[in-house]
Structure 1
Amino acid sequence: MPVVPLLILALLAGACSHPDLPLRQGHAMEPPAASDRDSPAAEDDPRLWLEEVESEAALDWAREQNARTYEVLRDDPRYEARMRSALEVYQSADRIPYGGLRHGKVYNFWEDADRRHGLWRRSEIDPYLAAEPEWEPLLDLDELAREEGVNWVWKGADCAPNDAPRCLLTLSDGGTDAAVRREFDLESRSFVEDGFMTPEAKGNSAWIDEDQLLMLLALDPEETTESGYPFVARRWQRGTPLEAAEEVLRGSAEDVGLSAFRLEGTDGEAHVMLTESHTFYESTRWVLPDEGDAIALPLPRQSSVRGLYRGQLIVSLNEAWSIPGQASHQPGTVLSFDLAHFLEHGELPPVHMVLKPTERQSVRNIGVTASGVLMTVDDNVVGTLQVLDFDRSGWNGRAVDLPDNLSLNLISTHPRLSLALLTAEGFLQPATLYAVDVDAASADPIRSAPEWFDAEDLTVTQHEVTSSDGTRVPYFLVHRKDMEPDGSTPVLLYAYGGFQITMSPGYSGVRGRLWLERGGAFALANIRGGGEFGPPWHQAGLTTKRQRIYDDLIAVAEDLIDRGVTAPQRLAVDGRSNGGLLTGVMYTQRPDLWGAVISGVPLLDMLRFHRLLAGASWVGEYGHPEDPDEGAFLRRISPYHNVTEDGSYPEIFLYTSTKDDRVHPSHARKFAHLLQDLGHPYLYYENIEGGHAGAANLEESAHRDTLIYLFLEQRLMDSNDTD
């Protein structure tokens, strides 16, 4: 089972050199006024034709842009060597085969050079823990793709309860979020004849029992939200048509969507849970009983269900909760209460404190096992692990001893096993997979990923800067030990700054080989908007407060320059998705800071994002373009509306995917077309497959990364070797 149930579909991965740039200008909390001369109005945009995703005109333009980009990057004599180096990392047989625990086995999906689409397989637990898994193949996706003539991309498996040998597989054509669901038999290793099967759609499902599914699909426009997700849940009985499924809960077209998951506890207790997401952050949680109507849980709208242990429903708060007759709790706190008591009596029983993080802590993962709850807690963006148990006196915890200064992530837990799988990694430490013995509160390494680059002469430091409003913002810097403070080091600065997503230390063999080994440094900024320090850190940058996020990143960039680490002509900023919006804002607000900018699968038109694909679901993060105050703010920060003809800009590399049905590819398309019209330097790459990841398989991922690092090498480095 997953560590944290998926409550809603997640959000959400120049031809000329620059002269010395002018002195930096100070930054303030208010974004600059937008230009009225060069930027298109939302209602009078001459590039709306690029929003037609697969129109011949739009695709022809994208192919022309790809050819132009290939002339610069793929025709670089260094491309082939760099591509081989990246592909070796991606396709290595020595990668850790991460797996999920279910049916007393470990399930893994594996891709390599011989398996472009991938192989679903499983092993007994004991040989897996001994690093000698005995893999039993279940489904060869390459073979299925050949037989059916479809570019299948694996999206996961949800297996029936009570160890029934049936799973519902989710498969996507080309990597889109919209996917088909097909029932698979584990014993015969084949799809079930006349089994559960759905058309392609966005949505999800949950097993009620072996013969019933709770199905939520955006098949009917009348039952689809403005964000493109379903808002009706139906109980689907085996052997009946999907159209005959019984409606059990209906949300609203104005919601983000309705989703479901099966919550299994340690005492054999199980419940089907539904989440009616009114906004990206505000939801009503429901329990579906065996009979009767769904029952709403008495939880704050900004909270999440995290697990069920010994009858205690575990909940994390994203807002303060003052419980009548009980205590008040702050955002970020983890609580629990007796779910059965509430369902039987209809009243909230005593609520127990599980964990209250400090100001510089945040809870990352929560996983339920047979003998304890595992919780990874980031302390100043460094991971720790605790085992918590519950008895009549409440919750008590023990720390698990693991190496210091690493990121920790739970991979899999199961409520009937006292075992968990966890990884630990750092910028210079490849991931190590651990088996956690919950009873003993100990962790033993199973295997480590390969070391892909020489880290002997590298080091990692953590720094803090003061943002425009006095807030302390940390960032990491990976650099050579003998780095001189003379501004000569090429630096790649990465950030995200949104949706309460934490940026933490992580090992990248490709980054090490294609950037660090060649003299580059890497900085990771923990700016507001993320989850590094809990809900307040995220909420400080919501909607019209978003300039704080951008000021945070500007402060990090200025610190790198002021300390002599780098200089503007040697500093690049990189971001993807919401991070692509972030780098787009850096491009328009502070072009003087950068020698290069990368914007991947980005949002860039902030006056139309809510009308494109899943964009309406992000109004809770960005604000609504049609609200007078929020719309005026979005107009001031929207990269697409703040490029001027006479401005001086660094070269920007934009990339997206035709198959991205989450963030519309027109964001990147229209921005590139605008730069083309205004004569500013840019490169644009559109993968015809790939979905929101920007790549549909390992080879495409290696190709994308090679283009990115060659772009950086050409723009920021002096080296022109061809090794």
Structure 2
Amino acid sequence: MPRTLFSALALTTVLAGTAVAQEGEYLDYPETATVDQVDTYQTPDGTEEVADPYRWLEDSVRTNPDVAAWVAAQNEVTNAYLETLPGRTAIEDRLTELWNYERFDTPEEDGGRYFYSRNDGLQNQSVYYVQDGLDGQPRALIDPNAWAEDGTRALAGTAPSPDGSMVAYLVADGGSDWRTIHVIDVDTGEVIDDRIEWAKFTGVSWAADGTGFYYSRYPAPDEGAEFTSLNMNQAVYFHTVGTPQSDDVMIMSDPDNPELGWGATVSEDGDFLVLTSWTGTDGNGTYVLSLTEPNAQPIEIFEGFGNNHTYITNVGSRFLFQTDLDAPNGRVVAVDVMNPETRADVIAEGETPIQDVGAVGNHLIVERLEDAKAAVSVYDLDGNLVRNVDLPGIGSVGGFGGHLDSPETFYTFASFNRPATIYRYDVETGESAVFREPDLTFDPEDYVVEQVFFESTGGAQVPMFIVRHRSVEATGAQPTLLYGYGGFGIAQLPTFDVRRLQWMEMGGVFALVNLRGGSEYGRAWHDAGRLQNKQNVFDDFINAAEELIDLGWTTPDNLAIEGRSNGGLLIGAVVNQRPDLFAAGLPTVGVMDMLRFNQFTAGRFWVDDYGSPQDPEMFEILRAYSPYHNVAEGEDYPALLILTADTDDRVVPGHSFKYAAALQAAETGPAPTVIRIETRAGHGAGTPVSKLIEETADKWAFIAFHTGLDLTNGLPQLGE
């Protein structure tokens, strides 16, 4: 039927005909206007015209009242539908109980003080604490819960000064990637007047004398374009504490190459600044700048953007870097910055990929992945193996930060059925001791963690974790949730998520598949799932679904799928390619328009993984799987709950808006296609606990209803 653009004044009319459906009935969606927008792209054989009828939905909710009205109309339909689903309130109540446990982050020691975050259970945001010495009395230093009544202002990063007297901290508002930097006096708890705006994709690194710090920021965007415009001309600055931002000194920029991003880290001894340059998400250049020599110029250590290099530590001019240059699984090399062409392996490439390397107590702590599971080893600074770190089982680790002159470090261990426990580790003795361990309202032993392997396209052996309550068996038709990501070299590991635990507590099976495109098997695994190989990711996910069916866990009528961001793209693509294989889908903050993703905010960085739609060869590949452009008219689709947020300036919500509009306008069968649009939230980081609980209750009620998990009489009591 014809679509006409509506304004906020027409909202009541649009909603007047809305009816909430049960299974097998059709929803009456809001009308969505179309526009006569056609773009021309270059192909290997000439040109191709591509219609984009929902282009107007790319505008920001904050600046376009018609988009705001469309969002309100869609949320009205979605909320009314979700309210009809059985078990939603019970899920929210039980999840609130499960979430209510004490959580800590790994401590950081500076100047004899220990800094860490703690959440007492249901606080919307974790509180930042400090204590003097290991046995000192903790005191709250920064409490983000006091910043906004709805909990949507978040602490997005902290950096104590070397002597522990000050902390620079980053604030995120409403889920945006933009950061404001402040400084607090640790002794008095007073916030200093310093305020730095328009920082993004940055850390904070203090000068050795504590007079100030290095950070990265962009020029202020045009008014009204803060959440959509491309991020260009990033530069590194030095800020002296107690001075206005206008006095900050620019350290590194490249106006001739505005697409370059820059980061800066002060070396272990404080004598050098390690600068990294990047144009996307894969590969960086590396420079070292002396901070002690007047008028020093940066020394190039690694050129170009074809490989990834990370500074580990240095002793004088001998620098150690983690790199995948000539080593797809990674290695540690020593470089003399006075003669950067001179370099030698300290830890050679091995059979399993290196994920991270820390330098503590004159040792190197190397985290590797063995079939997507954590393994940790300790070496001396010359690369001699000292010992392996004993871990409690199948899981993931984090932490291992510290100082080169101190043997003390902290790390976390977690798994699908175990929240993070924090350990204090003595590098000299090899002893681990529990530092913080949560009290739980469930028994981890009630849950079983297994790993299977299956064959995918090209003969690849792909691992998948399957997790469930011990009482759940493979009866052939268990409600099952399959999660995947598959991109940007990001490994999907056995981590704890209380939301997934509740799905399993209700009787659902949870599966996580380690798709190509991640880094589970090093750079080669990443390369096998990007650019012209992106279809491998979708094939892996489809084959994972079929493996779950072949193993007797589920059927297409009982299988739900979920992915976030690049994983949202995954869900959109596989639903288009195999709508018959799934009962329900949760595409969340997804990249859905593969022909325009590089036109907004950070989207241009993703060309490393996706390729550019302006490249004729890549255009054909992107056009072939773009979720927005490949809705299969006339096919019965699974039930879809699309999720996004109005302040997402990483993957702008227009991706999901346009995708939802295209699906609702097509003939895709009786299953609902609804979109849930969170307000004052972004890509996910810093989302208040209260909003996470509400969102999860909506998601689990939705997929439970559509996968046959019966909640009409309340939540199942397994094992009783």
Name the TM tier (shorter chain). 0.7 to 0.9
RMSD value over aligned CA atoms? 2.8
Structure 1 residues 215, 508: CA separation in 2 closer, same or farther (over 3 Å shift)? closer
Contact 2:177 2:200 in 1 (8 A): yes
Contact 1:227 1:617 in 2 (8 A): no
2:588 matches 1:600 = yes
2:351 matches 1:381 = no
Residue 309 of structure 1: CA displacement?
A: 4.7
Give the corresponding residue for 2:331: 334
Q: RCO (CA 8 Å, sep 6+): is it higher in 1 or 2?
A: 1
2-side partners of 1:425 and 1:246: how far apart? 42
2:239 matches 1:242 = no
Structure 1 residues 440, 78: CA separation in 2 closer, same or farther (over 3 Å shift)? same
Give the corresponding residue for 2:32: none
Unpaired runs of 5+ residues, structure 1, are 1-13, 20-39, 128-132, 321-329
Q: Which amino acid aligns with 2:301?
A: L
Secondary structure of the structure 1 residue equivalent to 2:411: strand
Give the corresponding residue for 1:356: 349
2:265 matches 1:262 = yes
Alignment of 1:67-466 (within 5 A): 67-76=76-85, 78-92=87-101, 94-112=102-120, 115-127=123-135, 134-145=137-148, 151-161=152-162, 163=163, 165-193=165-193, 196-204=194-202, 205-208=204-207, 209-220=209-220, 227-237=230-240, 241-251=244-254, 256-265=259-268, 268-290=269-291, 291=294, 292-298=296-302, 301=305, 302-311=307-316, 312-320=318-326, 330-338=327-335, 341-342=336-337, 345-358=338-351, 361-391=352-382, 394-410=383-399, 412-454=401-443, 456=445, 458-466=447-455
Residue 570 of structure 1: CA displacement?
A: 0.5
Aligned length: 658
Unpaired runs of 5+ residues, structure 2, are 1-19, 26-47, 716-720
Q: Which amino acid aligns with 1:692?
A: H
Structure 1 residues 319, 559: CA separation in 2 closer, same or farther (over 3 Å shift)? same
Q: Which amino acid aligns with 1:609?
A: F
Structure 1 residues 694, 314: CA separation in 2 closer, same or farther (over 3 Å shift)? closer
1-side partners of 2:630 and 2:191: how far apart? 52
Give the corresponding residue for 1:23: none
2-side partners of 1:257 and 1:74: how far apart? 47
Structure 1 residues 610, 504: CA separation in 2 closer, same or farther (over 3 Å shift)? same
Give the corresponding residue for 1:495: 484
Contact 1:99 1:412 in 2 (8 A): no
Give the corresponding residue for 2:691: 700
Structure 1 residues 467, 317: CA separation in 2 closer, same or farther (over 3 Å shift)? same
Contact 1:170 1:180 in 2 (8 A): yes
Residue 716 of structure 1: CA displacement?
A: 0.8
1-side partners of 2:667 and 2:84: how far apart? 23
Q: Which amino acid aligns with 1:437?
A: D
1-side partners of 2:651 and 2:613: how far apart? 16
Q: Pick one of 467, 476, 485 that aligns with 2:456.
A: 467
Secondary structure of the structure 1 residue equivalent to 2:622: helix
1-side partners of 2:122 and 2:415: how far apart? 29
Contact 1:496 1:503 in 2 (8 A): yes
Structure 1 residues 444, 645: CA separation in 2 closer, same or farther (over 3 Å shift)? same
Structure 1 residues 402, 45: CA separation in 2 closer, same or farther (over 3 Å shift)? same
Q: Which amino acid aligns with 2:342?
A: P
Alignment of 1:684-699 (within 5 A): 684-693=675-684, 696-699=687-690
2-side partners of 1:236 and 1:429: how far apart? 41
Contact 2:556 2:581 in 1 (8 A): yes
Q: Which amino acid aligns with 2:98?
A: V
2:565 matches 1:577 = yes
Q: Which amino acid aligns with 1:197?
A: R
Give the corresponding residue for 1:7: none
Contact 1:575 1:599 in 2 (8 A): yes
Q: Pick one of 641, 666, 675 that aligns with 2:654.
A: 666
Contact 1:318 1:332 in 2 (8 A): yes
Structure 1 residues 58, 467: CA separation in 2 closer, same or farther (over 3 Å shift)? same
Structure 1 residues 597, 44: CA separation in 2 closer, same or farther (over 3 Å shift)? closer
Residue 456 of structure 1: CA displacement?
A: 4.8
Q: Which amino acid aligns with 1:508?
A: D
Structure 1 residues 355, 701: CA separation in 2 closer, same or farther (over 3 Å shift)? farther
Residue 685 of structure 1: CA displacement?
A: 0.8
State percent identity of aligned pairs.
Answer: 27
Larger mean CA deviation between 560-569 and 520-529 belongs to 560-569
Deviations 1:665-718 (A, max 9, x none): 111111112222225421211111222107621111111111111111111124
Q: Pick one of 650, 657, 665 that aligns with 2:645.
A: 657
Deviations 1:506-529 (A, max 9, x none): 22333222x112221111101100
2-side partners of 1:87 and 1:414: how far apart? 38
Contact 1:85 1:510 in 2 (8 A): no
* Structure-1-length-normalised TM-score: 0.85
Secondary structure of the structure 2 residue equivalent to 1:430: strand
Q: Pick one of 494, 506, 513 that aligns with 1:525.
A: 513
Q: Which amino acid aligns with 2:346?
A: M
Secondary structure of the structure 2 residue equivalent to 1:575: strand
Q: Which amino acid aligns with 1:373?
A: L
2-side partners of 1:417 and 1:616: how far apart? 41
Q: Which amino acid aligns with 2:714?
A: T
